Structure 1
């Protein structure tokens, strides 16, 4: 067959290159009727996907590193990807995509057009416009810990809102009525959903979210510590408990409170989110929501295999629940 490209099929069908690419890749929100028209013309023109998937590429999309660099979430996802890829006979390679680099578009295009690779894209720090880099991808692609509201990809994400709802409800069940919220200054897409779950849990319990108890901190241990220390210097009224958007912020805030003479959990209880290894050795050990990061990586590979072996005209978003890990940072009132 001759070398026929996406743009030639686009000219012939009248559909945009992005729609053609989506239809040929069987992994975007293209209607069945449109897909059938595009595939028929592609066959008529002699189009054939060249090459065979030979590897899984784990792409860490990095914007600031303020969330990714402090935790062990992405290494856990990577391990899950590597193990699942090995089970189907594929090696895994690792690429960092610096979203702030002037070369980001070129690098993303190279990744997206390499049909010998299947891509797991870590979207933790990605925002809306960042996904446009992969709008015309031809490689099989699954997003982990991220999603686009305008483009459609197979995604594996944490059930952020329901998990935060459960964490806050846990505090309510332990008698807490004044429950504060520790928010990250850098707002990745997961965080507003967690805040929505926190607010919903309070609302359903007949409680109000007190704006005075919402503390915005940095997303590293050191910046969370500094922000909480500054807040405590104002001598604020303290809630009896805090839910923190992740463990990193919780640990930094707890350190500042202990130094200020606040006893945890006697004065203030804490629940975090992630279950970092450091949570077990905090003083006291941190109650938190455990994310199944290995499983997220494994499921991402399963979705890639579906795209290759059983193409479909719709996309999947899989939400994984978290597990409550009870330790010593919460007291009953």
Structure 2
């Protein structure tokens, strides 16, 4: 029996079978279990490939804490594609170091008290904080609780701490340059109604890229959406309808908002990309399945996870307090939602 046979019996693609066998993101847990059950029933044992030399076991407990709020890191944050993929990579990296990952989620307003309780009940060797909504004073307080902390997905240049973050400014800049190279000059901007450092930096980078070409985003072409909803938005539809002149392209601060924008435009009869190109940021799994597939800024979530875990492990037993700021660069993924601006027909 071959992988093709498992795919046929499971009613999925060979790629989905490979993802399930290698415990990689891209298939749901239900589909993964379905594929593995079929393989087991038919006596198929997938070959596992070991890459690189084995890492000695440390038996350390590494605690991952998601700092929840009502806008970005919600109660069910782990079901959202970006966070789900990031946690998957962190889990794999911690395993490779022979350590154990303990996952917790804490409301941000209760962070100090609950974190102290968790560490008292089960001390950890390192603390990974998903800190999108953390403020600088909060981070400094956490450092008084634990001496081996790495903050993920945010960064404050004036705080002496360990940060591993997306290079959001670069990503926004790359997005702006990409749309300009496609010939777009009347460009719309979809921004999150919730402002966090990541979104602010993406906007700064985007506007810098446009300014280099003597372009700006008109106030009438700036739209606000909830950052984590994936559905057509009535107020966006109304705003687009009432424009005297529509943009030829729209950049959105994340893929959720980009997908919502595509759905909203399609609802009112505007074609993507023929009438308006749409671009996102993050490169979540859904970017591949929306129609048309989404052009976006790729965030290297696997590199973020590897960098953060390596930093935690390096700092085990290290008494030095010097912080490290690491930015993981981004790149453009071109798909079908963005095309060169249409040239008016010559009569």
TM-score bracket for the superposition, by shorter chain length: 0.7 to 0.9
> Pick from 211, 216, 220: which aligns with 1:203?
211
TM-score with structure 2 length normalisation? 0.75
Distance 1:83 1:127 in 2: 28
Deviations, residues 174-232 of structure 1 (Å, cap 9, x unaligned): 10011111100011210010000111001111212212111111113356623312323
Partner of 1:38: none
Residues 1:62 and 2:68 are matched in the alignment: yes
Q: Kindly indicate whether structure 1 or structure 2 has the higher relative contact order, using CA contacts under 8 Å at least 6 residues apart.
A: 1
Partner of 1:20: none
1:53 to partner: Cα distance: 7.2
Contact 1:146/1:189, CA 8 A, preserved across alignment: yes
Distance 1:135 1:154 in 2: 10
Deviations, residues 218-262 of structure 1 (Å, cap 9, x unaligned): 113356623312323434521111111000001001111111111
> Pick from 188, 192, 209: which aligns with 2:196?
188
Partner of 1:29: none
Partner of 2:134: 126
Deviations, residues 286-314 of structure 1 (Å, cap 9, x unaligned): 10011111221121111011211555442
* 1:238–1:197 Cα change, 3 Å: same
> Pick from 255, 260, 274: which aligns with 1:266?
274
Residues 1:324 and 2:326 are matched in the alignment: no
Partner of 2:116: 109
Residues 1:305 and 2:305 are matched in the alignment: no
1:331 to partner: Cα distance: 1.2
Distance 1:209 1:121 in 2: 35
> Pick from 81, 96, 99: which aligns with 1:87?
96
TM-score with structure 1 length normalisation? 0.78
Contact 2:231/2:259, CA 8 A, preserved across alignment: no
Distance 2:111 2:145 in 1: 14
Secondary structure of the equivalent of 1:229?
helix
The equivalences for 1:201-240 within 5 A come to 201-222=209-230, 225-240=233-248
Distance 1:67 1:245 in 2: 16
Distance 1:63 1:236 in 2: 38
* 1:112–1:242 Cα change, 3 Å: farther
Partner of 2:108: 99
Gaps of 5+ in 2: 1-57, 342-347
Contact 1:169/1:202, CA 8 A, preserved across alignment: yes
Aligned length: 280
Deviations, residues 33-57 of structure 1 (Å, cap 9, x unaligned): xxxxxxxxxxxxxxxxxxx973111
Deviations, residues 5-28 of structure 1 (Å, cap 9, x unaligned): xxxxxxxxxxxxxxxxxxxxxxxx
* 1:180–1:235 Cα change, 3 Å: closer
Distance 2:254 2:127 in 1: 27
Distance 1:229 1:290 in 2: 27
Gaps of 5+ in 1: 1-51
The equivalences for 1:270-309 within 5 A come to 270-308=278-316
Secondary structure of the equivalent of 2:67?
strand
Distance 2:170 2:206 in 1: 9
1:276 to partner: Cα distance: 1.3
Deviations, residues 305-326 of structure 1 (Å, cap 9, x unaligned): 1211555442111111112111
